[in-house]
Amino acid sequence: METGAAVNDRMLRACFAAAAKGAPSHAYIIEGEDERILRGLSDYFIQLLLCESHDACGKCPSCRFLAEGGHPDLIRVVPEKPGVIKVDDIRIGLVEDMSIRPYRSRYKIYVVEHAEWMNVQAQNALLKTLEEPPSYGVILLLSCNTEALLPTIISRSVRLKAMSGGHGWERIPEEERYRLARIFTGIRGTDTAGIHTAAEQLAADDFAPDQVIGGLRTWIRDIMALKLSGAEDRIVIREALPALRTAAEDYTWKQINAILAMTDTAEGRISSGVNPAWQYELLLARMR
């Protein structure tokens, strides 16, 4: 089993791809330290599932329903009292309602924020549904403390850990960090010659491949955090915040996923002995 922040990114992409292809799992635990990022991540996932073209287009009737806050196949389980989710909250808001088929979409999605608030009785009620869910049911459990959930619930769910690490950014010497940030900042809007020059700079002896690849992942991780929640206090590459804000506005989720996938490919090829400069040039072109 792989561990680490990079693997979390790969897992997220795999789940997003499954959602886009119409093959999601029935239950997900979206965990992390920042509630804003968890909510943003779940909102994007929901849009992928309910979008009529499965790519979070933002234009179809389902996406417009979501934007207006009134999609009939999205149910948020709201506890009667904050701080505890009781068995009736789960039974009435989720278990019984799930017996009704979706109104207009392929899926019916249930969101339980602060899933760690569920008491044991509520979790046991949910567990029965997780054991035999209907084909159209998708449950998203958002939690800042997954350890409070029963092991049987965790074992029946796909765990998605929101981006939290900096992919080793803090271990890169400060001078190199600033140089990497300047290179990444300058890519947006540059021409082919500029991309070639930047790739040659990254391939110079001053930068180890793991620094470049880790730096790229940190860059994209920060863009994702801004897109998901606007949480500037969670940004790792603080020296490039203005450029990251612009990139978060400009990049689509498809572009972000493509860059992350290409980063994985480049890392593997470089490890196999392929010229790093060639791989960096492809990556930077994609980033542009």
CA torsion sign for 288, 244, 225, 161 is positive
* Residues 136, 25 contacting (CB under 8 angstroms): no
Measured torsion, CA atoms of residues 123, 126, 131, 135, in degrees rounded to the nearest 10 = -150
Mean of pLDDT values over 203-232:
79
pLDDT confidence bin for 166, thresholds 50/70/90: low
Q: What is the CATH number of domain 5-161?
A: 3.40.50.300
Q: What single DSSP character describes residue 188? A: T
Give the pTM: 0.69
Q: How far apart are the first and last CA of the chain?
A: 34
pLDDT confidence bin for 10, thresholds 50/70/90: low
Burial 150-188 (b: 16+ CB within 10 A, else e): eeebbebbeebbbbbbbbbbeebeeeebebbbebbbebe
Percent of the chain clearing pLDDT 90 (strictly above): 24
Mean of pLDDT values over 216-243:
78
* Residues 196, 281 contacting (CB under 8 angstroms): yes
Containing 111, the helix (H) or strand (E) segment is strand 108-112
Looking at the chain, how many residues does it have?
Answer: 288
Q: Among 7-16, 232-241, 260-269, whose mean pLDDT is lowest?
A: 7-16
With tokens 């209907």, the residue in question is 134
The amino acid occupying position 3 is T
Helices (H) and strands (E) in the chain, counts: 12, 5
Mean of pLDDT values over 114-131:
94
Cα gap 40→47, rounded to integer Å? 11
Distances (CA, A) of 5 to 12, 27, 205, 284: 11, 22, 26, 22
Percent of the chain clearing pLDDT 70 (strictly above): 88
Cβ contacts of 121 within 8 Å, gap of 6 or more:
86, 87
Cα gap 132→65, rounded to integer Å? 29
User: Exposed (0-12), middle (13-18) or buried (19+): which is 13, by Cβ within 10 Å?
Assistant: middle
Q: What single DSSP character describes residue 112? A: E
